[in-house]
Structure 1
Amino acid sequence: MPKPRKQQVSVEATPYYHCVSRCVRRAFLCGTDSVSGQSYEHRRGWLEERILALPQIFAIQVAAYAVMSNHYHVVLFVDSDQASGWSKIDVVLRWHQLFNGNVLSQRFVREEPLSEAEQNRLHILIDEWRARLCDISWFMRVLNEAIAREANAEDECSGRFWEGRFKSQALLDEAALITCMAYVDLNPVRAAMADTPETSEHTSIKQRIEHSRTTQKTNPVTAQTPLLLPFTGNPRQDSPNGIPMLLSDYLALVDETGRMIRNNKRGAIDNKLAPILSRIGLDSQQWLTMAQQFENCFSTFVSNETRVRQACEQLGYKRPTGVGQAKRLLAG
């Protein structure tokens, strides 16, 4: 039986999560139906646009994403501090971008007087909405429902468009985060949908590469890609929220990994990339295995054995899960 979300998601353990959602119908999310010949490729644009828009409302940022034929991947960063810093009106205005709210919240926005009892009730609602706006289950729900409505309207049908539960993996450390991001960004290359990362449509890696080309820079400060979680350079005490790596290093790493995957080579990685893998605690064989089979390598938690055991204990697991994979692939 699947574990409840509260036993899979703990911001105290990690703010980073890899989520995957898949279609249930034979009809494609994207691509071309080989039976009818109808193209659904435009739906990839729907999904990408929504993925990039929701972080402007939620206290959740997108580190990586890839929209495939019948599923999509997102790597999310939950920014609880951002949500805590919102004023009450900030929360209500953000929630109203997603839902209508209620009579009390609408009156609050119009600055109409509220009784003490009405204010107390509204404050309870605002606390609830604040929590939802930094909850990945609500993020995925809002994302999936919008696409399902559009797809069902276009197909002139009703019923489920997505599987009931999205898959979630907690990324407990830098090695897990970078490995998972590369796995997501290289999905189209692995699926033979693209020859290179820069030609992989509807992916975060293409967004980052195009922005770097436009600015002619890969500096982690000056070349940040709008709407995506930024790279902040090597970890330091005063690092802002972001991916603890240089953007230029990450692009080189993804490019080299993509070549290894396409040519089916398991030999030594280029010397210039060895320091990067060494820094995040991986060797080339471990990296290549995870970059091609990330979802199958891990279940709920992704990190080394120590971090996985700590997360399981924190979330009340009777038996640690994923320890074997952690020992084999992320020793340290």
Structure 2
Amino acid sequence: MTKARSSLISIDATPYYHCVSRCVRRSFLCGYDELAKQNYEHRRGWIEERLLALAGAFCIDICAYAIMSNHYHVVLHINADKSKQLTAHDVAERWLAFHQGPTLIHRFLAQDTLTDSETERCHTVIETWRERLMSISWFMRLLNQHIASEANREDKCTGHFWEGRFKSQALLDEKALAAAMAYVDLNPVRAAIAATPETSDFTSIKARINAIENEKTATKGLFPFVGNPRENMSEGIPFRLMDYLELVDWTGRQCREDKRGQIDSRTPPILNRLGFDSAEWLDAYKHAQKGTLIGTKSSIKRALSLLGRKRLCGFRLPAS
């Protein structure tokens, strides 16, 4: 039975979520369709472009993404602090980047003379938009509706492009975040579409590696890595970028068919900090898509009441 979105997403439980959308009938509507002999590869670029554009307007950060031939994965971070810091004008301008908006709001932005009741109405509408700028449901809606419209226009047809509403998975702690991000970034390698992370097109891992190669300090549109947790740390993913890249590279090597069962004795240091041994990590990575909750038993227990649930369910990671 379909679960209410409120039981799947709650910023009080965690700001991190792994979301997946799949094309209708699992068709290759974003890649090369062998049956129809049609190439839709360019649509993967549409999704990547729209994804990054929405991240620039919403108070939702992209930690990782992978856009495949018939589905895409994205790990998102709800940035409540960013939302609180936006002025009313900031909120309105961000929302109107993707919507027409009422005339009254345009007058407000143009600093026309408004009555007290009109000003109050503007602030009420804008506060609703502020909440929506933190909503993963609205983020995914604007992403998927746009791509479906563009694809149907190109195909000169109507009907569903996506299989159904997106699936979401709450990432309740650092372990869950690392496993989900690695799972997403290694999608093309796991599917044998790419040999290495740096050759995986339409992925966040390739974008981050390209930024390093071009001597850039940040990757446009992506939530930055800010190092291991500490006091007064800046906002970002709580790992060192080079540690994470090493982890992804090592994980990809272990999961190749010709390396099955052969574990390198030298494991990445980040695993020690997260409290994984190599076997536990590979199991977590391989099953990171299971369930709607992922985290240690204690993390899942803490999240249940916040998500309005009673039963201890989800994919449990080993405790440190």
Same fold per superposition (TM over 0.5): yes
1:279 aligned partner: 273
1:98 aligned partner: 98
**Among 263, 266, 269, the residue aligned to 1:268:** 263
1:81 aligned partner: 81
Q: CA deviation at 1:272?
A: 4.6
**Among 286, 292, 295, the residue aligned to 2:286:** 292
User: 1:230-269: CA deviations, max 9, x gaps?
Assistant: 0101111111111111111111111111111113423434
Aligned with 1:303: secondary structure?
Answer: strand
1-side partners of 2:171 and 2:34: how far apart?
A: 37
* CA distance 1:251–1:185, change in 2 (3 Å): same
2:319 aligned partner: 331
**Among 299, 305, 309, the residue aligned to 2:297:** 305
Q: Say how many residue pairs are matched.
A: 319
2-side partners of 1:120 and 1:281: how far apart?
A: 52
1-side partners of 2:132 and 2:29: how far apart?
A: 27
Amino acid in structure 2 at the alignment position of 1:11: I
1:219 aligned partner: none
1:59 aligned partner: 59
User: 1:83-113: CA deviations, max 9, x gaps?
Assistant: 1111111111111101011121111122112
2:192 aligned partner: 192
After superposition, where does 1:20-35 map in structure 2 within 5 Å? 20-25=20-25, 27-35=27-35
* CA distance 1:190–1:141, change in 2 (3 Å): same
Q: Say if 1:10 and 1:315, in contact at 8 Å, map to a contact too.
A: yes
1:125 aligned partner: 125
Amino acid in structure 2 at the alignment position of 1:245: F
1:109 aligned partner: 109
* CA distance 1:284–1:238, change in 2 (3 Å): same
Aligned with 1:278: secondary structure?
Answer: helix
After superposition, where does 1:113-192 map in structure 2 within 5 Å? 113-192=113-192
Highest RCO, 1 vs 2 (Cα 8 Å, sep ≥ 6): 2
Q: Say if 1:25 and 1:161, in contact at 8 Å, map to a contact too.
A: no
Amino acid in structure 2 at the alignment position of 1:234: N
Q: Say if 1:183 and 1:290, in contact at 8 Å, map to a contact too.
A: no
2-side partners of 1:29 and 1:232: how far apart?
A: 36
Amino acid in structure 2 at the alignment position of 1:253: L
Q: Say if 2:288 and 2:294, in contact at 8 Å, map to a contact too.
A: no
Deviant stretches of 4+, over 6 Å: none
2-side partners of 1:272 and 1:292: how far apart?
A: 17
Q: CA deviation at 1:164?
A: 2.5
Aligned with 2:237: secondary structure?
Answer: coil
1-side partners of 2:286 and 2:30: how far apart?
A: 22
Q: Which region of structure 1 is more displaced relative to structure 2, 284-293 or 152-161?
A: 284-293
Normalising by structure 1, what TM-score? 0.92
Q: Say if 1:313 and 1:320, in contact at 8 Å, map to a contact too.
A: no
Q: Mark the runs of 5 or more structure 2 residues left unpaired by the alignment.
A: none
1-side partners of 2:264 and 2:238: how far apart?
A: 22
Q: Say if 2:26 and 2:163, in contact at 8 Å, map to a contact too.
A: no
Aligned with 1:294: secondary structure?
Answer: coil
CA RMSD of aligned residues (A): 1.4
**Matching of residue 68 in structure 1 with residue 49 in structure 2:** no
1-side partners of 2:115 and 2:261: how far apart?
A: 69
Percent identity (aligned): 52
Q: Say if 2:25 and 2:163, in contact at 8 Å, map to a contact too.
A: no
Q: Mark the runs of 5 or more structure 1 residues left unpaired by the alignment.
A: 216-221
Normalising by structure 2, what TM-score? 0.96
Q: Which region of structure 1 is more displaced relative to structure 2, 59-68 or 112-121?
A: 112-121
Q: Which region of structure 1 is more displaced relative to structure 2, 152-161 or 262-271?
A: 262-271
Q: Say if 2:267 and 2:278, in contact at 8 Å, map to a contact too.
A: no
2-side partners of 1:315 and 1:35: how far apart?
A: 43
Amino acid in structure 2 at the alignment position of 1:311: A
Aligned with 2:168: secondary structure?
Answer: strand
Amino acid in structure 2 at the alignment position of 1:282: F
Q: CA deviation at 1:34?
A: 1.1
2-side partners of 1:279 and 1:268: how far apart?
A: 19
1-side partners of 2:264 and 2:103: how far apart?
A: 61
